[in-house]
A = this chain, B = another copy of it.
Amino acid sequence: MSKYTIWIDFGTKSGRAVLVDISNGEIIATAVHPYANGVIDEVLPGTEIRLPPDWALQDPNDYLEVVKRTIPAILRESGVAPGDVIGVGIDFTACTMLPTTADGTPLCFLPEWRANPHAWVKLWKHHAAQPEANKLNEIARQMNQPWLDRYGGKISSEWFFPKAWQILDEAPEVYEAADRLIEAADWIVWQLTGVETRNNCTAGYKAIWSKREGFPPDVFFKALDPRMEHIVDEKMRREISFLGERAGGLTSEAARWTGLKPGTAVAVANVDAHVSVPAATVTEPGRMVIIMGTSNCHMVLSKEEHHVPGICGYVEDGIIPGYFGYEAGQSCVGDHFAWFVENCVPAVYAAEAEAKGLTLHQLLEAKAARQKPGEHGLVALDWWNGNRSVLVDVDLTGLLIGQTLATKPEDIYRALIEATAYGTRLIIENFESHGVAIKEIVATGGLPNRNKLLMQIYADVTGREVKIAATNQAGALGSAMFGAVAAGRAAGGYDTIEEASAAMARLREEAYAPIPEHSAVYDRLYQEYVILHDYFGRGANDVMKRLKRLRAEVFGGGVEHA
C-alpha cells in the first residue's frame, strides 16, 4: 500500500500544498491558496499607514490560511486516507522573518502592535535594511570577522541580522517586546508541531551560522549596537536542527486544521531553492543544480570546505547532510528576457507572433535558433539587475556591444541568453579554480521547460552536458522527500535523503550535450565576455557606478520632472 507525504511551498504570493506518492515521487494532488494580503508594500492592512520605498511585508495569518485550506483540499481531491500520509515537509522563501512572543504569537497579531509595520513579517525582498547591511559589513571587515569569507565577503540587506537591526533602529519598542525573532519557515513548523526549531539551511545561508563556529560572537553584535549584544540568546536560540530531521509531530490543533493525524511527522523547514537539489537527483558532488527562473541559483556540493570568493555562501550540511552546500547566483535571467520582450520588440513581431499562434518569447526563440553562434556579432554583460556572483555588486548595470544597422531583435535576444550562459560559465570556472569540481549541470525551475535554445546554449557555452529535472515542481518534490525522511523508514518513509532522492527524483530523457563546433566559437566569445566583465566589473572603468550616481543626483536635485 502506498505511503504519501505532503509538502507545502510558501512562495512570494501564495502557498501551495502537494500530495506525493513517496514510492516514485508521483504528484497525486495539488492545491493553491493566494495570500489575502499578498505582498504588503504600500499600505499596512487595516490602517492608513503608508510604507516607505523598499519595504515588503507579509501577514503570518496568510500562512496559516494556506495550511487550513490546502491540505483538506488535497485530501478530499485524492481520497487518500490521512493515516497513509506519513510526513509533512515545508519550504519557504528566505530570509522571511518576524518578531513573536515566547509562545510563537506574531507581534502583529496583538492589538497593541498591529499598527506598527515592524511587528509584521519582513519578506525576503524587503530591501529597506540596506543602511544596516552596509554598517554591518563595514564593522565586520574592521573586526576581521572570519565568517565574511563564507559569504563572498558581503552580507546582503535581505538577510536576517540587517532586518533584525532595522527593527531595533527604527522601532526599539518592537525589538524589546519580541521574545523571538524567527524565520517564517521555522515559525510555521512551530505552529504545526508546537516545537520551536531553527533549521540549519536558513541559519547558515541567511543568519551567519555555521556548524563549526555557530553564530558570530556577542562582541560582534555588541559592536553593531550594545542592545544587540545578546541577540542570539535573547531573541533566537543556539540549538539548530538539521535538514531531514523530524521537527516534531502535528499537534491536535494542527490535525484539526488539516484533517491529518495528530503526531504526523513534520520535517525541519527548508528553503525553496535548496530543497530543489535532491529533487533534481543531486545528492553528491560534481553535479551543479541551476534553478532557472527570474534569476539563476547555482547549487553544488563538496565534501571539503573551500573558500570560494564571490559566491552567495556555503553552509556545511546546508543542502544535503554530510556535504558543504555552495550557493551562487545571477540576478537577472528570466527577468532579462521578460524586460526585453516587454520593452524592445517591435509591433511587426507582435503581429507575426499572433499570426503564428506563438508568444513573443517563442517567436524570438524560433528566429534566434536559426542562427549560428557568433553570427549576430554581439556580446552583452548580463547585469541589468546588478551582479550577484562573482562580483557581488548591485551597482553594476547592463552592456550590449557590437550593434550595427543590420542588428535584429532576435540577435539581441540571443545575445542576452548567451550573456547569462557566460555568467554561469564564469561562476563554474570560479568554483573549479577554488577546488569545487563541476562535471555536469542539472537544470530545474521554470525556464528549462520553456526554452530549448537556452538549454543548448548553456551546454555549448559551459562545455558541460545539461540535464533536466523531470519534475516541474522541484521545490515540492524536495520538501516531500524531506518529509519522508522525517517520517523515517519505520513509518514507511526513508532513512536518508539519498534514498529518498534515488526513489523519488528523476531526470528527463532529453539532455543537451555541447556541440563541439558551437563550443569552439563560444570559447572565443566567452573570452570577450571575460575581458568586458573584468574591465567594467573590477574597477578599471567604473562608468556604470558613475552613471548610477549621476542618476541619483539628478533625481535628488529636486528639479521639476514634468
Contacts and interface: CB of A to CB of B under 8 A. Distances in A.
A106 B417 CA distance: 54
Interface stretch (A190-198, A205-213, A525-533): A525-533
A544 interface: yes
A516 to B, nearest CB: 13
Given A399-B399, A399-B403, A404-B397, A377 B550 contact: yes
Number of copies of this chain in the oligomer? Answer: 2
A234 interface: no
Nearest to A532: B543
Interface residues of A, number: 59
Nearest to A551: B377
A379 B547 contact: yes
A404 B377 contact: no
Interface in A514-562: 517, 521, 524-525, 528, 531-532, 535-536, 541, 543-544, 546-548, 550-551, 553-555, 557, 559, 561-562
Contacts of A374: 547, 550-551, 553-554
B405 A377 contact: no
Contacts of A536: 401
Interface stretch (A66-74, A343-351, A463-471): A343-351
Contacts of A378: 547
B384 A405 contact: yes
A544 B555 CA distance: 34
Interface string A395-439: 001111111110111000000000000000000000000000000
A243 to B, nearest CB: 33
A528 B546 contact: yes
A531 B542 CA distance: 11
A109 interface: no
A116 to B, nearest CB: 31
A351 B350 CA distance: 12
Nearest to A369: B562
A562 B370 contact: yes
A347 B350 contact: yes
Interface string A334-373: 0110010011111100110000000000000000001011
Interface of A: 332, 335-336, 339, 342-347, 350-351, 370, 372-379, 384-385, 397-405, 407-409, 517, 521, 524-525, 528, 531-532, 535-536, 541, 543-544, 546-548, 550-551, 553-555, 557, 559, 561-562
24 contacts: A339-B407, A343-B346, A343-B408, A346-B346, A372-B559, A377-B397, A377-B550, A377-B551, A378-B547, A384-B404, A384-B407, A397-B403, A397-B404, A398-B401, A398-B407, A399-B400, A400-B401, A400-B403, A401-B544, A402-B547, A521-B550, A525-B550, A531-B541, A535-B535
